[in-house]
């Protein structure tokens, strides 16, 4: 397996007395598709939020592409090359689809306050480029051109999911974190999304980390799966190993079933 | 998900698409506002009202950046009026009497101003200094609010406005040698009339130059507002207004972006404050009370939060209510029939107007298209939802 692009070492996150993530160590090999699964309340999203800098870990160390990012802010981590989507779609509701994606490019742009006011040719060019790239990105995720300039909240649920992925891709990430991307999709759409993940990884040289409840998606697409339960890592391995691991079955179905 | 909607309406209208229609409309509007004072005598009260109204437009547009664009509720905006006015008082009057051994410091002033004691600067310098002082103050007020959300920001900014007011009020007790910091409620007066080093300083016998000066400032501020709104910076502001967590995750640096909003908004307040100090010829602490913050805030709510033209309209309308409707129209009747002075109640009238706006047209008179959609079609920015989510989901 290739080298780790993101390493989380002994991550613990406590909210007061509640330990949401308990001493979890975790590697994401570069170029892979890796999944985190676990029952509700297992600490998956908390762990995601730690990886993207929204939460600071109580203890532990994060390393992205060889650089210590444990104390970095979310925008710094995004600029370094980590992008994400959210479990409950969090688009900027009153912006158009295009503008949403343009915000995703924020960290790639250089224009400052004065530049924005004066709008010198360089700024104008950058703005045009970013807009053009946003359109391309939206087409790439499958949003038709005539929908690009509509307010994002007017679009269908599936389209909103697409915009979220486009917005995440706009920052040109090395690592893409998807939080339950197929939630609310029918089996057909899930299947297509699986193919899309494979394609985007290949096209853009991406590494993908996935939180997912749909086992068909997880088993079909992941090279490695990590199972969390009550904030602890209970199993790790390829889909086959995880499927047969008694602790995983216990976590999902209870002790007797195991 | 209840957000699926079939009503897909484009955000742009014919007016936005047709360039010549737009250019023609704005050119006509510009000509009208420029020639406006020629319709009245040089000291006509209508020009006076228009001049103060335009000064409030500048302030309201500044506050609109903070509240309307970036969504940071600022209840202490009067602080920047105060600091801008004080800057004009310090740099453009005989208040700092001992400066340069009472011979005075002068820079680029016209008329007799270069023969008087005190500091007398060209008004370009004063406007720029006022903007800088307020931008720095804006960032200082912003710093303690950075970790806060929503209502809590309002409380901190409210306190900051009150602190500046108290300083202005009691500044006559704060002395550096013989020099007081402010002149308290007696006011620093006279303040130099606006002058740019060429021609005579402005005077109260001809209000037209004052009007054109503040009109120029309005145009500048409008330009900055439009440019910023449709830029990387403006998108970042709207993004943090809509969803801070998502914005940060998309690479928008929260601290820098918010401080930028505070600084820009404050700078405009300072410029307008310096102008008003000169126009009213005094820097009096009693002008800097909390009620003024609400007055400006009411303008942008009336016009439509985040909507640039709405804010302009709101500021003008509210000033008309303040200077015409209440004292001239309504007060006549109030005194005739009930024998009381309605001007004492002007703030309850503003309050009443705000309640009406909230009930009838919560998006304001000239709403921004986005904001209207948010309020009418239930597009949630959901501050509570947004902050709650991140804690709840696991």
Query: Tens digits of per-residue pLDDT, B69-128?
Result: 999 999 999 999 999 999 999 999 999 888 888 888 899 888 888 888 899 999 999 999
Chain A residue closest to B231 (CA)? A116
Do B370 and A95 lie within an 8 Å CB cutoff? yes
Cβ contacts (< 8 Å) between A108 and chain B: which residues?
Answer: 251
Paired tokens of B365: 């008179």
The answer to whether A35 contacts chain B (CB < 8 Å) is: no
DSSP A202-240: HHHT-EEEEE-S-HHHHHHH-SEEEEEETTEEEEEE-HH
Chain B residue closest to A123 (CA)? B231
Give the rounded percent of residues in chain A with a pLDDT score beyond 70: 98
Q: Using an 8 Å Cβ cutoff, are A198 and A189 in contact?
A: no
Asked if residue A83 is part of any domain, the answer here is: no
Among A94, A66, A91, which Cα is nearest to A80's?
A: A66
The answer to whether B373 contacts chain A (CB < 8 Å) is: yes
Give the sheet arrangement for strand A175-179, strand by strand. A82-84, A175-179, A207-211, A33-37, A224-229, A232-237
Give the rounded percent of residues in chain B with a pLDDT score beyond 90: 59
Q: Rounded distance, CA B270 to CA B126, Å?
A: 10
The top-scoring range by mean pLDDT among A1-5, A251-255, B59-63, B353-357 is B59-63
Of the candidates A170, A203, A228, which is a domain's last residue? A170
Asked if residue A178 is part of any domain, the answer here is: no
Cβ contacts (< 8 Å) between B264 and chain A: which residues?
Answer: 113
The answer to whether A73 contacts chain B (CB < 8 Å) is: yes
Among B253, B301, B264, B214, which Cα is nearest to B62's?
A: B264
pLDDT at B269: 97
Question: A64 in helix, strand or coil?
Answer: strand
Window B:10-69, CB contacts with A under 8 Å: 10-12
End-to-end CA distance of chain A: 31
Q: Which of A79, A112, A147 sits opposite B251 (nearest CB)?
A: A79
Which positions ≥6 away from A55 have C-beta within 8 Å? A13, A46, A49
Q: Is the pLDDT of residue B7 over 50?
A: no
pLDDT at B388: 34
Do A94 and B373 lie within an 8 Å CB cutoff? yes
Asked if residue A206 is part of any domain, the answer here is: no
Structural domain span for residue A21 = 7-25+59-66
Question: B225 in helix, strand or coil?
Answer: helix
B329 vs A125: which has the higher pLDDT:
A125
pLDDT at B334: 78
pTM exceeding 0.80: yes
The answer to whether A235 contacts chain B (CB < 8 Å) is: no
Beta bridge partners of A229: A232
Q: Give which of A106, A131, A150 to mutate to test B binding, by max B Cβ within 10 Å.
A: A106
The answer to whether B254 contacts chain A (CB < 8 Å) is: yes
Q: Using an 8 Å Cβ cutoff, are B240 and B257 in contact?
A: yes
Chain A residue closest to B240 (CA)? A92
pLDDT at B390: 33
Q: Is the pLDDT of residue B141 over 60?
A: yes
The answer to whether A122 contacts chain B (CB < 8 Å) is: no
Asked if residue A94 is part of any domain, the answer here is: yes
Asked if residue A125 is part of any domain, the answer here is: yes
Strands A207-211 and A175-179: parallel
Q: Using an 8 Å Cβ cutoff, are B86 and B96 in contact?
A: no
Q: Which of A45, A88, A92 sits opposite B238 (nearest CB)?
A: A92
Paired tokens of B294: 């609400």
Q: Rounded distance, CA B182 to CA B160, Å?
A: 18
Do B370 and A113 lie within an 8 Å CB cutoff? no
Q: Rounded distance, CA A194 to CA A216, Å?
A: 10
Q: Is the pLDDT of residue B393 over 50?
A: no
Asked if residue A122 is part of any domain, the answer here is: yes
Q: Is the pLDDT of residue A114 over 70?
A: yes
Q: Rounded distance, CA B315 to CA A51, Å?
A: 46
Q: Residue B193 — very low, low, confident or very high, per pLDDT cuts 50/70/90?
A: very high
pLDDT, mean of residues A27-40: 93
What is the domain count for chain A? 2
Paired tokens of A174: 């090395």
Among B215, B214, B251, which Cα is nearest to B232's?
A: B251
Q: Is the pLDDT of residue A58 over 50?
A: yes
Cβ contacts (< 8 Å) between B304 and chain A: which residues?
Answer: none
pLDDT at B375: 66
Q: Is the pLDDT of residue B182 over 80?
A: yes
The answer to whether B379 contacts chain A (CB < 8 Å) is: yes
The answer to whether A187 contacts chain B (CB < 8 Å) is: no
Can you say how many angstroms the Cα of residue A214 is from the centroid of all Cα atoms in its chain?
16
Q: Dihedral (C-alpha) B253, B255, B260, B265: value to the nearest 10 degrees?
A: 130
β strands within A65-203, DSSP E? 67-68, 82-84, 175-179
Do A73 and B394 lie within an 8 Å CB cutoff? no
Do B371 and A94 lie within an 8 Å CB cutoff? yes
Paired tokens of B264: 């820009």
Q: Which of B234, B245, B371 sits opposite A90 (nearest CB)?
A: B245
Q: Residue A110 — very low, low, confident or very high, per pLDDT cuts 50/70/90?
A: confident
Element (H, E) at A36: strand A33-37
Of the candidates A170, A187, A210, which is a domain's last residue? A170
**Residue spans of alpha helices (H) in B9-73:** 14-17, 19-35, 45-63
The answer to whether A249 contacts chain B (CB < 8 Å) is: no
* DSSP code at position A45: H
B264-294 pLDDT, tens per residue?
A: 999 999 999 999 999 999 999 999 999 999 9
pLDDT at B11: 60
Asked if residue A246 is part of any domain, the answer here is: no
Q: Which of A45, A54, A160 sits opposite B248 (nearest CB)?
A: A54
Asked if residue A107 is part of any domain, the answer here is: yes
Cβ contacts (< 8 Å) between B242 and chain A: which residues?
Answer: 92-95
CB count in 10 Å sphere of residue B231: 21
Mean pLDDT of chain B, nearest integer: 87
Number of H helices, E strands in chain B: 16, 5
Q: Give which of A41, A78, A92 to mutate to test B binding, by max B Cβ within 10 Å.
A: A92
């Amino acid at each position: 397996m290739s080298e780790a692009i993101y390493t989380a070492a002994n991550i613990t996150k406590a909210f007061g007395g509640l330990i949401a993530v308990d001493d979890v160590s975790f590697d994401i090999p570069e170029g892979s598709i890796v999944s985190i699964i676990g029952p509700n309340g297992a600490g998956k999203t908390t762990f995601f939020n730690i990886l993207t800098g929204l939460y600071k870990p109580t203890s532990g160390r994060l390393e992205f592409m060889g650089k210590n990012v444990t104390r970095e802010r979310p925008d710094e981590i995004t600029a370094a090359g980590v992008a994400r989507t959210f479990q409950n779609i969090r688009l900027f509701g009153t912006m158009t689809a295009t503008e949403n994606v343009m915000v995703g490019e924020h960290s790639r742009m250089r224009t400052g306050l004065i530049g924005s006011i004066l709008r010198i040719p360089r700024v104008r060019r950058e703005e045009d480029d970013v807009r053009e790239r946003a359109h391309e990105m939206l087409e790439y995720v499958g949003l038709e051109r005539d929908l690009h300039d509509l307010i994002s909240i007017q679009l269908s649920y599936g389209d909103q999911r697409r915009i979220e992925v486009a917005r995440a891709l706009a920052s040109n990430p090395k690592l893409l974190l998807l939080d339950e991307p197929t939630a609310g999709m029918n089996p057909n759409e899930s299947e297509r999304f699986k193919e899309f993940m494979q394609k985007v990884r290949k096209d853009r040289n991406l590494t993908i980390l996935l939180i997912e409840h749909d086992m068909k998606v997880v088993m079909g697409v992941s090279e490695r799966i990590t199972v969390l339960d009550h904030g602890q890592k209970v199993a790790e391995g390829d889909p086959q190993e995880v499927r047969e691991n008694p602790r995983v079955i216990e976590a999902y179905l209870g002790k007797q079933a195991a | 998900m209840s957000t699926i909607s079939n009503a897909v309406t484009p955000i742009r209208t014919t007016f936005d698409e047709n360039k010549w229609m737009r250019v023609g409309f704005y050119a006509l509007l510009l000509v009208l506002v420029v020639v406006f004072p020629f319709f009245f005598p040089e000291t006509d009260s209508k020009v006076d009202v228009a001049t103060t109204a335009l000064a409030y437009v500048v302030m309201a547009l500044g506050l609109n950046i903070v509240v309307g664009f970036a969504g940071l509720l600022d209840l202490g905006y009067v602080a920047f009026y105060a600091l801008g006015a004080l800057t004009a008082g310090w740099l453009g009057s005989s208040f700092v009497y001992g400066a340069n051994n009472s011979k005075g410091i002068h820079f680029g002033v016209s008329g007799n101003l270069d023969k008087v004691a005190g500091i007398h600067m060209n008004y370009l310098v004063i406007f720029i200094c006022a903007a800088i002082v307020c931008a720095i103050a804006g960032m200082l007020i912003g710093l303690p609010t950075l970790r806060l959300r929503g209502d809590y920001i309002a409380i901190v900014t409210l306190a900051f406005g009150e602190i500046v007011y108290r300083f202005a009020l009691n500044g006559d007790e704060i002395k550096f040698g013989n020099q007081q910091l402010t002149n308290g409620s007696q006011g620093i007066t006279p303040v130099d009339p606006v002058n740019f080093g060429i021609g005579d300083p402005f005077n109260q016998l001809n209000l037209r130059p004052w009007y054109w000066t503040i009109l120029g400032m309005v145009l500048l501020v409008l330009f900055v507002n439009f440019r910023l709104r449709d830029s990387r910076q403006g998108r970042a502001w709207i993004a943090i207004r809509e969803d801070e967590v998502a914005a940060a995750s998309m690479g928008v640096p929260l601290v820098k972006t918010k401080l930028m909003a505070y600084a820009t908004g404050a700078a405009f307040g300072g410029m307008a404050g310096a102008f008003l100090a000169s126009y009213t010829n005094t820097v009096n602490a009693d002008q800097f009370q909390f009620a003024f913050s609400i007055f400006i805030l009411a303008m942008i709510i009336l016009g439509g939060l985040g909507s640039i033209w709405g804010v302009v309209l709101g500021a003008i309308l509210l000033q008309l209510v303040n200077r015409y409707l209440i004292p001239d129209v309504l007060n006549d009747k109030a005194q005739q029939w009930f024998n009381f002075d309605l001007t004492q109640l002007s703030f309850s009238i503003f309050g009443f107007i705000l309640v009406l706006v909230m009930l009838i047209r919560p998006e304001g008179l000239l709403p921004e298209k986005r904001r209207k959609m948010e309020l009418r079609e239930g597009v949630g920015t959901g501050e509570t939802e947004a902050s709650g989510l991140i804690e709840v989901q696991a």
